[in-house]
Amino acid sequence: MNYLPHIALVGNPNSGKSSLFNQLTGLKQKVGNFPGVTVDKKSGICRLSETMQAQIIDLPGTYSLYPKSPDERVVTDILLNPSHPLHPGLVVVVVDAANLKRNLLLYTEVKDLGLPVVLALNMLDMAGSQQINIDQKLLSQQLHAPVVGINARTGKGIDALKGEMARAVGPRSGADGAASNGFHFVEASSLAPGLVDRIRGKFGLENDYAAYQYAHQGEAASFLKADEKSQLNSWRQEFGFEDKPLQARETVARYETIRKIVDEAVRVPAGNALQETLSGRLDKILLHRVWGFVVFMAILFLIFQAIFAWAQYPMDLIDAGIARLTAWLHESMPDSMLVNLLADGLIAGLGGILIFIPQIAVLFAFVAILEESGYMARVVFLMDRIMRSFGLNGRSVVPLISGVACAVPAIMATRTIDNRKERLITILVTPLMSCSARIPIYTILIALVVPKVLVLGFLNLQGVALMALYLLGFLAALVSAWVMKRVLQTREKSFLIMELPDYQVPRWGNVGITIIEKVKAFVLEAGKVIIAISIVLWVLSSYGPGNRMEEAAMKARSQYAAADETDLENHVASARLEASYAGQAGRFMEPAIRPLGYDWKIGIALLSSFAAREVFVGTLSTIYSIGSSDDDTDTIRQQLARETNPRTGGPMYTQATSFSLLIFYAFAMMCMSTLAVVHRETRGWKWPAIQFFYMTALAYLSAWLVYNALN
């Protein structure tokens, strides 16, 4: 396999780095974890020319090489460690043209490391709309690196950028890079004389600023061995190295140089600063103390209405298609264990995955549009006012909002929170936010008990119920955080400092990529679990200890001998299922869940969904397929609606039982992946255990209250 040069994209948050990554890689990208840490890494292949390809690595956003969070630490560790597997041969620094002075701080630091650099000057169209004129040729001369103007959203300038990248990593790149290696924005040897030379000799470094950064990183550098860190600390003491004063001195020197460069290369016409931008006018409404929340709630209503209204038709088609496929298998193939496994195990589990793809796609389409437009950053800023009242860090809003998609990356996102206790509280309450895995449960149960009618002439009542569940999870997270704040006795206050990007028309290519990625992740990741559990459940539901299943079948035939053939076969199938291994497990836990209105069949679904919540629907589909006659090819919804309560003779899924289940799943910790990532983030099982038991207790008590109130 030919070696592909590594090209790293670095830049400040909201500089357009991710959009540029999508432009360069398209769908030829993958998401993983950086070695040793739970921070998302995105990489992909880009064709720079007809004869050259490169691997593009999208590094986490950072403001400088002095990290304040674990995800920023990733950037520093990769750039400073030549032996790192992702150490780049070229760094593309993406800067926001409208905020050039602040963005160039990171550029000057990366440049001083001696790495080949290309500057991507992003959002030039926006800068032009604000009448900001940038002399790119002069800027390139002063920065000692190629400068390429681009618009990462529209793709403007991407070909020119690829050309510069190809030249930088091509065969002649060595001579070109050496020409500017002697230039430094800050002379590191003058900041720490003697120490820089000592570190260069010890670690074989060719760059003064890299050695200077080794002195700064010290204990925090993951790529240094214990004895090397100890040696560094000893030298730091010997030379009287002081981190904060030297960092401040260096930063002041850099900004002084940057100011001179920007003053010469950037022209802002007189009076332009007084000209109010469109984003500023919109923010007067969208960030208003009252109207901001009104608009946000209206957007939420639109999203949840769309999840039911727009996704209904394709969901019905998939549901009916799965039913027809199951019927075709039973009718066209001889009755055998293999056919039953395919129809009632594999196909039933597949139906539990495919039917919810339209709703997953609609949800993430809206999330991607809100992010692309710049509104999501406003939501974070707007909700910060509420967060502070409950003792959470302003940055807690990001994980909580991300939790609507999935708790696993949301918990990883807490690494941006500096305060240890506030980060811990955010980790513990984030799973209360209703994630996309709950959508299959919510929608199937809401469709059973909430009528499909319009409220006020335009609001779908089912969509209102779905939104209410999401708001309930958010309120539960806030109340739990308030309680934990007092239990953990957190007194430190934190404030949210973030940049609000200008509003922009969403780039539909990026929206499409997001939808495809999320749907693919749901189908491949959750799908593997659902299908595996469906097959295991089929086995456990088709076989039982000894001859119990045959004896139960004979007893049912005798007891219901007077019934018609269809009813008799259903009673026999149900009796066999109850005597199976799965039925025995459900019967074992039934006394514990009966106060919530659940029977042993629901108990089986509860057990299986501890692996992943979305397994619940597939499990019930498998169970009811096995517990029905072979000629019964009802869809999932019809199977649930038809199920009877053996104790009352009425429907099993009454309003009381269904709403009890909805509340239980809104609060319960039923995701092994989430517990695993909490263990990794907290470095122990203490907090995952506390999280599991407090959420399970909250779910059980709340479901009991709802069932008894409605029954």
Mean pLDDT of the 298-326 span: 78
Mean pLDDT of the 440-466 span: 81
User: Is 90 exceeded by the pLDDT of residue 695?
Assistant: yes
C-alpha distances in Å from residue 267, one per residue of 132, 156, 261, 280: 6, 22, 11, 21
Mean pLDDT of the 518-524 span: 72
Mean pLDDT of the 334-347 span: 75
Question: Would you call 93 helix, strand, or coil by DSSP?
Answer: strand
Residue 160: predicted pLDDT: 93
Beta bridge partners of 9: 58, 92
Q: What are phi and psi of 639, to 5 degrees?
A: -65, -45
Residue 313: predicted pLDDT: 79
More confident residue, 99 or 140: 140
Mean pLDDT of the 180-194 span: 80
Kindly indicate the confidence band of residue 180, based on its pLDDT and cuts at 50, 70 and 90: very low
Domain boundaries, the chain: 6-180, 188-267, 277-442+466-543+580-652
Residue 231: predicted pLDDT: 87
Beta bridge partners of 56: 7, 44
More confident residue, 104 or 675: 104
Residue 584: predicted pLDDT: 85
Tokens of 454: 């319009």
Q: Are 224 and 233 in contact (CB under 8 A)?
A: no
**Range from 311-315, 610-614, 622-626 that averages highest in pLDDT:** 311-315
User: Is 60 exceeded by the pLDDT of residue 31?
Assistant: no
Residue 41: predicted pLDDT: 67
C-alpha distances in Å from residue 660, one per residue of 593, 635, 705: 11, 23, 8
Residue 129: predicted pLDDT: 45
Question: Would you call 10 helix, strand, or coil by DSSP?
Answer: strand
User: Is 70 exceeded by the pLDDT of residue 651?
Assistant: yes
Average pLDDT, the chain: 79
Residue 1: predicted pLDDT: 43
User: Is 50 exceeded by the pLDDT of residue 630?
Assistant: no
Question: Would you call 123 helix, strand, or coil by DSSP?
Answer: coil
CA distance linking residue 609 with residue 548, whole number of Å: 26
Mean pLDDT of the 269-293 span: 71
From 67, 56, 60, select the one nearest 34 (Cα to Cα): 60
Residue 179: predicted pLDDT: 39
Residue matched to tokens 């103390």: 289
pLDDT in tens, 321-334: 877 888 888 788 88
First to last CA, the chain: 66
C-alpha distances in Å from residue 121, one per residue of 99, 157, 290, 485, 625: 10, 10, 37, 43, 59
How far does CA 613 lie from the centroid of its chain? 17
Mean pLDDT of the 155-159 span: 89
Mean pLDDT of the 183-211 span: 87
pLDDT in tens, 221-268: 778 888 888 888 889 888 888 888 888 899 999 999 999 999 888 876
More confident residue, 431 or 601: 431
Host H or E run for residue 622: helix 615-626
Rounded percentage of the chain residues whose pLDDT exceeds 70: 82
Out of 423-432, 459-468, 655-664, least confident range: 459-468
More confident residue, 188 or 565: 188
Residue 27: predicted pLDDT: 60
Count of C-beta atoms within a 10 Å radius of residue 549? 21
Q: Are 652 and 644 in contact (CB under 8 A)?
A: yes
Residue 105: predicted pLDDT: 92
CA distance linking residue 615 with residue 612, whole number of Å: 6
More confident residue, 162 or 349: 162
Kindly indicate the confidence band of residue 497, based on its pLDDT and cuts at 50, 70 and 90: low
* CATH class of the domain whose range is 6-180: alpha beta
Kindly indicate the confidence band of residue 36, based on its pLDDT and cuts at 50, 70 and 90: very low
Mean pLDDT of the 567-591 span: 79
Mean pLDDT of the 157-176 span: 78
User: Is 70 exceeded by the pLDDT of residue 274?
Assistant: no
